[in-house]
């Protein structure tokens, strides 16, 4: 039986060059932006409230999540990431000094955690304010069995779970929109051989079809895309709505992602932030 390692990369306010749509003239300007105390407090809150619950509740706990940040991440956030690795068996902390080439930095973070004995590595990008459903790891590993003949053609393949929810945090709380999004980033798996010398970040999700064949699995809600004041881009991506009952969003978020919509809505109101000043934020 083939061994499919599931390996995620989560960048938590990593300080480095390139790789970001919010541009800064100098590394010091970027450090001041990323490490601003109020911003880091919000980022941790979203991470703890939106991202972590679904990961901690995975029905298949056999995965690795690399938490990538800089060695000078301010306290208490660096200590909190260390503490997370102690209580979450799947978490690994990668402290990567600032590197000009972002892809090299991402590969440096994940390379020590690739299983050389795996037959396939299912790479996934886990942004620190998005979420995957509690059965994402199970399905990504199980579905590969059906996709294997296609993967063997090029030894590269993407699998996109395209049905999800877009949450938007504004001054008046959280809005929920059901969306089918093509290769949203969240719940997108890139299957590569263990010796590929690539991370999931080497294949930009919005144009991944240039790099490999892909399969879309649209059946059930598998991701939450969370738009908030601190997004790097905040663009939703190509897609369209799917029909659902708004009265059921809270239940769906709780069941599939372990997200408490009422608590999230209350926090968004308390933060009192507008949408981000980005060209395509929320579009």
Q: pLDDT per residue over 14-52, tens digit each?
A: 987 654 555 666 778 888 889 999 999 999 999 999 999
For residue 151, what pLDDT is reported? Answer: 95
For residue 23, what pLDDT is reported? Answer: 61
Average pLDDT rounded to a whole number, residues 112-137: 97
- Tens-digit pLDDT profile for residues 205-245: 999 999 999 999 999 999 999 998 777 666 777 889 999 99
State the average pLDDT for the chain.
91
Give the sign of the dihedral formed by CA 57, CA 201, CA 92, CA 121: positive
For strand 239-241 and strand 157-161, is the pairing parallel, antiparallel, or unpaired? unpaired
For residue 18, what pLDDT is reported? Answer: 56
pLDDT confidence bin for 281, thresholds 50/70/90: very low
Contacts of 256 (CB under 8 A, 6+ apart): 54, 133, 134, 220, 221, 222
Average pLDDT rounded to a whole number, residues 122-138: 97
Asked whether the beta carbons of 22 and 79 are under 8 A apart, the reply is: no
Q: Does residue 283 register a pLDDT over 70?
A: no
CATH topology assigned to domain 4-271: Spore Coat Polysaccharide Biosynthesis Protein SpsA; Chain A (3.90.550)
Most distant CA pair in the chain, distance: 52
Give the sign of the dihedral formed by CA 159, CA 12, CA 277, CA 177: positive
Asked whether the beta carbons of 7 and 125 are under 8 A apart, the reply is: no
For residue 30, what pLDDT is reported? Answer: 83
56-65, 127-136, 245-254, 263-272 — which is least confidently predicted? 263-272
Q: 3-state SS of the chain: helix, strand, coil percent to 5?
A: 35, 25, 40
Between CA 222 and CA 163 the distance in angstroms is: 6
Nearest to 111 by CA among 185, 194, 187, 191: 194
Asked whether the beta carbons of 62 and 137 are under 8 A apart, the reply is: yes
Average pLDDT rounded to a whole number, residues 191-216: 95
Nearest to 160 by CA among 129, 177, 139: 139
Give the rounded percent of residues in the chain with a pLDDT score beyond 90: 81
> 77-86: long-range contacts at Cβ-Cβ below 8 A with a sequence spacing of 24 or more?
77/12, 77/13, 77/40, 77/44, 80/44, 81/12, 84/52
For residue 232, what pLDDT is reported? Answer: 64
For residue 273, what pLDDT is reported? Answer: 76
Q: Does residue 146 register a pLDDT over 60?
A: yes
Average pLDDT rounded to a whole number, residues 113-135: 97
Between CA 238 and CA 207 the distance in angstroms is: 11
- The verdict on pTM exceeding 0.85 is yes
pLDDT confidence bin for 179, thresholds 50/70/90: very high
For residue 33, what pLDDT is reported? Answer: 85
Contacts of 27 (CB under 8 A, 6+ apart): 15, 17, 98
List the chain domain ranges: 4-271
């Amino acid at each position: 039986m083939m061994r499919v390692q599931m390996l995620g990369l989560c960048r938590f306010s990593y300080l480095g060059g390139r790789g970001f749509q919010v541009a800064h003239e100098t590394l010091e300007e970027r450090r001041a932006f990323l490490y601003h105390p109020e911003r880091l407090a919000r980022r941790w809150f979203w991470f703890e409230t939106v991202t972590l619950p679904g990961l901690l509740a995975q029905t298949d706990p056999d995965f690795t999540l690399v938490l990538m940040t800089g060695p000078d991440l301010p306290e208490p956030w660096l200590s909190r990431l260390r503490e997370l690795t102690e209580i979450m068996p799947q978490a690994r902390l990668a402290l990567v000094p600032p590197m000009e080439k972002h892809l090299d930095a991402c590969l440096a973070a994940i390379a020590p955690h690739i299983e050389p004995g795996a037959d396939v590595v299912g790479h996934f990008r886990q942004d620190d304010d998005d979420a995957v459903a509690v059965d994402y790891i199970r399905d990504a590993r199980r579905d590969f069995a059906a996709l294997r003949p296609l993967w063997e053609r090029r030894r590269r393949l993407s699998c996109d779970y395209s049905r999800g929810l877009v949450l938007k945090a504004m001054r008046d709380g959280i809005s929920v929109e059901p969306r089918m999004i093509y290769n949203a980033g969240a719940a997108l798996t890139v299957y590569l051989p263990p010796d590929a010398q690539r991370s999931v970040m080497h294949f930009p999700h919005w144009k991944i079809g240039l790099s490999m064949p892909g399969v879309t699995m649209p059946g059930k809600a598998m991701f939450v895309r969370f738009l908030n004041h601190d997004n790097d881009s905040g663009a939703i991506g190509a897609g369209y709505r799917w029909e659902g009952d708004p009265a059921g969003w809270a239940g769906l978020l709780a069941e599939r992602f372990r997200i408490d919509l009422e608590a999230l809505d209350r926090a968004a109101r308390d933060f009192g932030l507008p949408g981000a000043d980005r060209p395509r934020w929320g579009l």
